[in-house]
Amino acid sequence: MTRIIIIAFAFLITLVASCSKKDDTFKTYLALDSRFIILNGPADTTKMIIYSDKSWTVESIDDTPWLTVQTGSGSGVAYAVVAVTDNSANLPRIGRLLVKAGDKTDTIRLGQRGIVPKISITATAVSGGATGGAIQTPISTNLPLELMTVNYNYDANGTDWISGLQIDNSNLSFNVAGNSTAAARSATILLSYLDAVGTTTKDSIKVNQPKQ
């Protein structure tokens, strides 16, 4: 009887010990070391670490012929490899990569720098005639106007009296309507551009107009 009790106790100790062991093995369905990568303008290749317990794939999900997935599949913890062409003469750009592992997905945004966007208006302020007319002032920019965000901030003496804004031959030009209010007025034109990698470029000019 004593022998049976000792054997049973030894079995119980073994069972408790085995249940108390911790499984320290790293497990994850899908994880990334980075979801936003920025490369410089020259042609380049970058590696991205994919963490997964399963087989995984990486593919481009945008129309980005400048981006090539060189190593787009693997299993466990491994590198995905992506190459980009030269962008030194163009504005910054961005593409997205879809990562899949089983029924899990994630997205990587891959940006590439290029020329530095520039908006530089020579004058800080200009004055228009009380009866209105065209105004022109020099501007240095490597951006077309259609890529810029244009905001007009008018004072309390009227709105929408600036129109026809355009950039042509290194000049910023626009029209001002006649001032029919009883006071001088002013407005600020703000030009801004947010590039693909998150950098904002901006400049502004104040437009003054006397009363008639």
Report pLDDT digits (tens) over 48-99: 999 999 999 999 999 999 999 999 999 999 999 999 999 999 999 999 999 9
Domain spanning 24-112 has what CATH number? 2.60.40.10
Q: 176 falls in which pLDDT band (50, 70, 90)?
A: very high
pTM: 0.79
pLDDT of residue 212: 87
Q: 22 falls in which pLDDT band (50, 70, 90)?
A: low
Please check whether residue 152 is in contact with residue 187, taking contact to mean a CB–CB distance below 8 angstroms: yes
Q: 181 falls in which pLDDT band (50, 70, 90)?
A: very high
Assess whether pLDDT exceeds 90 at residue 42: yes
pLDDT digit string, tens, across residues 108-135: 999 999 999 999 999 999 999 999 999 9
Total Cβ atoms within 10 A of residue 50: 25
Indicate the domain borders of the chain.
24-112, 119-209
Of the ranges 11-15, 24-28, 73-77, which one carries the lowest mean pLDDT score?
A: 11-15
User: What is the average pLDDT score of the chain?
Assistant: 90
Q: For the chain, what percent of residues have pLDDT higher than 90?
A: 83
Domain spanning 119-209 has what CATH number? 2.60.40.10
pLDDT of residue 29: 84
DSSP class per residue in the chain:
-HHHHHHHHHHHHHHHHHHH--------S-EES-SEEEE-SS-EEEEEEEE-SSEEEEEE-S--TTEEEEE-EEESSEEEEEEE---TTS--EEEEEEEEETTEEEEEEEEE--SPP-EEES-SEEE--TT-EEEEEEEEESS-GGGSEEEEEE-SS-SS-EEEEEEETTEEEEEE----SSS-EEEEEEEEEE-TTS-EEEEEEEEEE---
Q: 24 falls in which pLDDT band (50, 70, 90)?
A: low
Identical fold for domains 24-112 and 119-209, yes or no, is yes
